[in-house]
Amino acid sequence: MPLAEATVEDHLATSSDHFTLSLTFPDIKLAPSQPGKIRVTTEDELKRFVEIVELGAAEIPRADSTPEELDELASSLASLLTSAAKAAGRPARKGGRSAPWWTEECAAAAAGFRAIRRLYPLSFNQNVQVAKRDFHRVVRRAKRQYWRNLIDSFTSNSAVFKAVRWLKPPGGFQPPPLQVNNVVYETQMDKANALRQATLERRTAEDDIANA
């Protein structure tokens, strides 16, 4: 660790051939984490956001035209809007994408469940359990309908393999394209055909070694 120190304390006698070490670590404070983005998009979230802003605005004192009072008013308004967004909205996911089976009905059910859960943070309430059960029911129905539609859309074996390959998350390593005779091949099938032609089809039966 940078700036850390270790000192052998000779005056602290120990048995055998051991020594006592005194370690000093620097007082390094962690950098403050940057707040993430908050999404307030659904109808319930927007309604809750407006309600919180209206209640908080009544507590903000009126300001005159002095620069100090205007700065204080602007700071209070910014703090109120930020707090209302955090209370009514949800953190935005970074770099992710929604599941292919996720529908508007799922989003509405999730927003309703979050709204009920905010009213009862301990979750020991019948309304919370009912909202959770309804949300899970909507998700199961959406998944079932998605997979049913996907399976019904298959018309060939290649479509099945294409769907499975599309659903499988890509790994961290992506194979580079292949270049053969100034031609670049990117897909796995094109690479396989190019290698087959370049290695197996470049010779004919006349190039075989004659039997002794």
> What pLDDT does 139 receive?
93
| Same domain flag for 91 and 106 | no
Neighbours of 26 (CB within 10 A): 10
| Same domain flag for 114 and 157 | yes
Residue 26 lies in a domain: no
Residue 42 lies in a domain: yes
> What pLDDT does 117 receive?
80
Rounded Cα–Cα distance for residues 9 and 6 (Å): 9
- Domain boundary (95, 125, 143) is at 95
Q: Mean pLDDT per 10-residue run, the chain (212 residues)?
A: 72 69 69 66 83 84 77 85 83 68 87 80 76 92 90 80 63 73 82 82 69 65
Rounded Cα–Cα distance for residues 212 and 51 (Å): 95
Nearest to 149 by CA among 134, 137, 168, 163: 163
| Same domain flag for 78 and 137 | no
> What pLDDT does 110 receive?
87
Rounded Cα–Cα distance for residues 125 and 107 (Å): 22
What is the domain extent for residue 106? Answer: 97-169
- Which amino acid is present at 116? I
- Domain boundary (75, 95, 115) is at 95
> What pLDDT does 144 receive?
93
When divided into structural domains, the chain yields a total of 2
Residue 114 lies in a domain: yes
**pTM to 2 decimal places:** 0.39
Residue 78 lies in a domain: yes
| Same domain flag for 108 and 160 | yes
C-alpha dihedral over 89, 51, 63, 38, to 10 degrees? 0
| Same domain flag for 62 and 116 | no
Residue 206 lies in a domain: no
| Same domain flag for 156 and 109 | yes
Are 52 and 84 contacting, i.e. CB atoms less than 8 angstroms apart? yes
